[in-house]
Chain A
Amino acid sequence: MSETMIQTVGLTKRYGEKTAVNQLNLSIKKGEVFGLLGPNGAGKTTTTLMLLGLTEPTEGFATIAGKDCTRDPIGVKRSVGYLPDNVGFYGDMTGRENLYFTGRLNGLSGETIRERAEELLARVGMTDAADRKTKTYSRGMKQRLGIADVLLKDPEVVIMDEPTLGIDPQGMRELLSLIRELSEKDGRTILLSSHQLYQVQQICDRVGIFVNGSLIACGTISELGKRMEREGKYTLELSAEPDNGALASILSRIEGADRVEREGGRVLLHSREDIRRRVTMELTANGYTLLELHQKGGDLDEIYSRYFEKAEREQQQKESQKHHALAGLKKGLRSGQ
């Protein structure tokens, strides 16, 4: 289980001035479900393309199952299945023909292709639609056929680019449980990129957060949550009765509390340390009944937006520093004249 499947060392890709992926160091173990998170244009797709050897890295290298992704792309592609976002099929061929075509491209024998195709079609629930031309398929059906297509070569590693985009909630649930099953039952390593946090949270063992081409955080969701806490940011979400004006002032007087906010029917209490105990005691002492108390920061949504805010703030600081430096330089020049 501890065998490393995917590894990148200092992986960098530059397009002219713009750095799409910056010094990416990542290692993913066998059988793990890893989620790459980030907004659009953060470098997730570029990373997956470099892993498949479809794009050459500017610096650094990546290996999958010990094979170099740039030097031996054929070997890598033999053991890696790639599901691009918004996958396409040859519209004039039926779903089954498309699968057979992929099988032949992988050099499988006719017998193996037939067996696997039938099994996979059943697994993704597409047996009934397999003889229809793929141009009549809906988005969700294409996605399901895409998964069958990826699994046809029996890959050790599956890379999925935005697999949940544009699928209805029912299809989503099925897809997520299928992905989980691929990892748990079949022992495949799965790397998926997404900007939909909720699903990633449900199925990923570990996540990496990407902003502007850099991996700013990486670990299990609870690890990331703890790290946030260490940085001294706690948010308590609570509601109490009677919910009168005095509640906020009592809360803000508690030792360690930073500020109090109202969000709908709840109160948000920001602090620098864990003050749950103090809050309960103080409220009880003042005759309030605590209805709800919830420490935020444990879910990915929170982690994600926190990291984003942090990354964006740093970016802005850097820019404003640059600006200041430039302005200072100009001033210096002017006074020098």
Chain B
Amino acid sequence: MDNIRSRRFLVILVLIVVTSYASLYGALTGLASSGETDYLFLALYTTSGSSIPSFMSFIALLGPFVGIILGFDGITGEKSERTLYRIAAQPIYRDSIINGKFLAGTALIFLMVFTMGISIGAVGLLATGIPPSLEELGRVLVYLLFTSIYICFWLGLSLWFSVVCKNAAASAMAAIGVWIVCALFMGLIAGIIANLIYPMNNDYQALMNSMGNYTLELGINRISPYYLYSEAASTIMNPSVRAVNVITVESLSGAISGYLSLGQSLLLVWPHLAGLAALMLATFAGSYICFMRQEIRSK
């Protein structure tokens, strides 16, 4: 309730609606010129056209913001408004405060993501006139589920910071800092570490280490929920992605070029889903524990 009515949520919602429809427009113009025929419905979400990024990349970029905005002053706000002490003095368990904060945010995120995703699909359907297959629909729903969990991770993280930090500004800065590191610098860090452990300075080293180097870099990258999510989303939304790990020439021999079925794609990203859900629960558990051990006092 409070979340929906709050001004800053409306601002970010408007931003997301506008960018989503812009990306849909981009996708439609892009599709018209490409003339591709397979999985057109999915292409509505993934295609970028006339210099407008796709819906998927917009959501990957703006999603964390939604999570952070919903969570960053969850507890600090109650403290600065001085309502926390009044609520804590009522006969309710203390964890229901933090559970309520998290569940309300989660519900809102799921609602928003699914509404956006389905409405984009509906408008796209009207524009193209091509009905989606059941599999495409399934893929979109799985993708939206991934997105929701991913955004909930950021909600949990910012809620955690809001428990730990003294004021809302500090907690917002910390959450945005983590997001920037995950989105921009994780790749650099992963590359540096991988090159340190498996150097590839000459041909011989390149021959011996390239496999280890690449696997390690990928592993480190996957610590970042941003990478995890992008990988999972592109696998789900693009049936031609056949593997998320290193593919050797042997494993390709005898393979028939074609699309993966939804079940097979899901099998590929199952670990990603588990990882994202675990990260989300870990951040919430962190904020829960910190809040329960924290002393509620007015100074």
Contact with A along B267-299 (1 / 0, CB 8 A): 000000000000000000000000000011111
Of residues 99 through 123 on chain B, the ones whose CB sits less than 8 Å from some CB of chain A are none
Residues of A within 8 A of B2 (CB): 90, 92
> In whole angstroms, how far apart are the Cα atoms of A167 and B298 in the complex?
19
Give chain A nearest CB distance to B17 CB in angstroms. 23
Interface-lining segment among A49-57, A209-217, A294-302: A49-57
> In whole angstroms, how far apart are the Cα atoms of A149 and B86 in the complex?
9
Say yes or no: A82 contacts B298, CB within 8 Å.
Answer: no
> In whole angstroms, how far apart are the Cα atoms of A78 and B81 in the complex?
23
A90 with B81, Cβ < 8 A, contacts A49-B297, A54-B297 known:
yes
Say yes or no: B89 contacts A55, CB within 8 Å.
Answer: no
Residues of A within 8 A of B92 (CB): 74, 105
| B297 (CB) vs chain A CBs: closest residue | A49
Is A84 part of the contact surface with B, judged by Cβ < 8 Å?
A: yes
| Tally of chain A residues near chain B (CB < 8 A) | 30
> In whole angstroms, how far apart are the Cα atoms of A87 and B88 in the complex?
12
Say yes or no: B81 contacts A84, CB within 8 Å.
Answer: no
Is B82 part of the contact surface with A, judged by Cβ < 8 Å?
A: yes
| A105 (CB) vs chain B CBs: closest residue | B90
> In whole angstroms, how far apart are the Cα atoms of A92 and B1 in the complex?
11
Is A308 part of the contact surface with B, judged by Cβ < 8 Å?
A: no
Q: Which of B2, B82, B297, B298 has the most CB of A within 10 A?
A: B298
Q: Which of A54, A81, A82, A88 has the most CB of B within 10 A?
A: A88
Of residues 52 through 84 on chain A, the ones whose CB sits less than 8 Å from some CB of chain B are 52, 54-55, 74-75, 77-78, 80-82, 84
> In whole angstroms, how far apart are the Cα atoms of A149 and B298 in the complex?
18
Residues of B within 8 A of A81 (CB): 89
| B293 (CB) vs chain A CBs: closest residue | A56
Say yes or no: B86 contacts A84, CB within 8 Å.
Answer: yes
Of B6, B89, B90, B91, which contacts A84 at CB under 8 A?
Answer: B89
Give chain B nearest CB distance to A54 CB in angstroms. 5
| B81 (CB) vs chain A CBs: closest residue | A88
Of B82, B83, B86, B298, which contacts A45 at CB under 8 A?
Answer: B298
Say yes or no: A92 contacts B82, CB within 8 Å.
Answer: no
Residues of B within 8 A of A196 (CB): none
A84 with B5, Cβ < 8 A, contacts A54-B88, A74-B93, A107-B91 known:
no
Is B87 part of the contact surface with A, judged by Cβ < 8 Å?
A: yes
Give chain A nearest CB distance to B5 CB in angstroms. 7
Q: Which of B2, B86, B299 has the most CB of A within 10 A?
A: B86
| B90 (CB) vs chain A CBs: closest residue | A105
Say yes or no: A78 contacts B91, CB within 8 Å.
Answer: yes
Give chain A nearest CB distance to B101 CB in angstroms. 14
Say yes or no: A87 contacts B86, CB within 8 Å.
Answer: yes
Say yes or no: B5 contacts A52, CB within 8 Å.
Answer: no
Residues of B within 8 A of A105 (CB): 87, 90-92
Q: What are the nearest 7 A-B pairs in CB distance?
A: A88-B82, A82-B89, A84-B85, A78-B91, A77-B91, A105-B90, A88-B83
Q: A88-B83, A92-B2 are in contact. List 6 more A-B contacts (CB 8 A).
A: A52-B89, A78-B91, A84-B89, A85-B298, A92-B6, A105-B87
24 A–B pairs (Cβ distance < 8 Å), ordered by A: A45-B299, A46-B297, A52-B88, A54-B296, A55-B297, A78-B91, A84-B82, A84-B85, A84-B86, A84-B89, A86-B82, A86-B298, A88-B82, A88-B86, A89-B81, A90-B83, A92-B6, A102-B86, A102-B90, A105-B91, A105-B92, A106-B90, A106-B91, A153-B90
